[in-house]
Amino acid sequence: MDLAAAATHPGRTTPIADRTQLFIGGRWTAPHGTGVIAVEDPTTEQVIAHVPAGDTVDVDRAVAAAKAAFGPWSALAPAERAAFLDRLHAALSARAEDVAATVARELGTPLRIATKVQAGLPLTVLRSYVELAGQPESTHTVGNSLIVGEPVGVVGAITPWNYPLHQIMAKVAGALAAGCTVVLKPADLTPLVAYLLFDAIEEAGLPAGVANLVTGPGSVVGSAIAAHPDVDMVSFTGSTAVGARISHLAADRIARVALELGGKSANVILEDADLPRAVKTGVANAFLNSGQTCTAWTRMLVHRPRYEEALAIAAEAAAGQTLGDPFDRGTRLGPLASAAQRETVRGYIAQGLADGARLIAGGLDAPVPDRGHFVAATVLADVDPDSTVAQEEIFGPVLVVIPFDSDEEAVAIANNSRYGLAGAVWSGDEDRALAVARRLRTGAVDVNGGAFNPLAPFGGFKQSGIGRELGRHGLDEFLETKAIQR
């Protein structure tokens, strides 16, 4: 890629500037931590901004602000909280173009996709919580007991870089709607969009301390939030390894934890499926956001009689994943988020080939722009279901394809994973597809291309996590249950 051309691309007009403050107690405030985090554009490999690296003193201040705000915020009538969230929705909607362009720059998501997914989806989620927050509390009776849900308290939210605003919104909107207050630590790779959110929070006039932002390294700020005695619940999205560490920290003080972790989801294509649709949809799903999607269907399982036919369709679809500048209209695949992520993904491709996979598309030698953390859309066939590339979350544009001989075997291969986040089943017979879907040990399954539902519970079985986000289930995650006997 021509660096000068990319850096001055006409789409790159978003004003991106250094941020020097944290949002604590309802105002922008100087950090106690003296470090800074440099934010890179993974397309140009240039530093585009700096944000503060907060420290444990900043976490203490933010938690104290959230604790002080909890009483009044939780005591508001649901309709009053909904009105605040509605104002936040308006303030964030006004920034939607900046959100999309900022994520296109700090993460590299193609602008067209960023507009829909990185900016649009968080607004959809926030809208759903405006409506849920405004509904009366869900109380019910059991015999002589009145069962009520009460907000859990101060929530520490720690989020990753792959869908930076969506991952934040799934936690922050649910927690605020439930009556909790929040301390957020966003990912170091993509902190800029969090600043846009907090600009909107300031404009919406949320009461002081209800939502607080502390940027900084996970090992310092994230750990301090997870271990803080006044954080009542930690809600984390990211890698399984860090999720386990956070669980340990929270366990020491019996704090509640919600974890959204990795995935290695199976796309099961039965022999009576609409093959072109199933394969093309599967390829697009696997490569969305350069494969940096926890729910990505990264294992395509195909009934053997249609296996070679499916590989041909997959190869053609992968070849259509045009790499390039996220601001070019024709770009389907942006760079990976960082140089480290690119090297990790290339290592997995090499491992897969060394383990005997057949290269169908992409690979290590496929042409990529000469600057930026790019990896070509790669399809590996004949992959052993127990091998590394079939078992580990690669988090890059790498799809593995595995044949099977019966529905029974497809279910066994799909469930042969330490993860259980998502999946798909395709069949001309919906009852047959549903029967397979019900046997998959995952938190969600899409049958014949069923659309994403932002009101449906989202979360994983096994090492994909604990708890659910989005919709009513997501709100309930932030409630304690109380029984009052009469």
Query: How many whole angstroms separate alpha carbon 31 and alpha carbon 220?
Result: 14
Q: Does 219 bind ligand NDP (CB under 6 A)?
A: yes
Q: What's at 123, amino acid-wise?
A: L
Closest approach of ligand NDP to the CB of residue 159, in Å: 6
Q: Is 271 marked active-site? A: no
Q: Does 118 bind ligand NDP (CB under 6 A)?
A: no
Residue from the set 156, 164, 238, 423 that interacts with ligand NDP by CB under 6 A: 238
Closest approach of ligand NDP to the CB of residue 326, in Å: 19
Residue from the set 43, 44, 162, 417 that interacts with ligand NDP by CB under 6 A: 162
382 or 392, CB closer to ligand NDP?
392
Strand order in the sheet with 465-466: 27-29, 22-24, 211-213, 181-185, 154-158, 233-237, 256-260, 465-466
Residue from the set 73, 327, 395, 478 that interacts with ligand NDP by CB under 6 A: 395
Which of 106, 260, 469, 477 is the catalytic position?
260
Site string for ligand NDP, 43-62 (x = CB under 6 A): --------------------
Closest approach of ligand NDP to the CB of residue 331, in Å: 22
Closest approach of ligand NDP to the CB of residue 245, in Å: 5
185 or 228, CB closer to ligand NDP?
185
Q: Which of residues 85-104 bind ligand NDP (CB under 6 A)?
A: none
Judge contact between 188 and 215, C-beta under 8 A. yes
Burial of 203 (0-12, 13-18, 19+ CB in 10 A): middle
Q: Does 262 bind ligand NDP (CB under 6 A)?
A: yes
Closest approach of ligand NDP to the CB of residue 443, in Å: 12
Residues that bind ligand NDP (CB under 6 A): 158-162, 185, 187-189, 217-219, 222-223, 226, 237-239, 242, 245-246, 261-262, 294, 393, 395
The residues carrying an active-site annotation are: 260
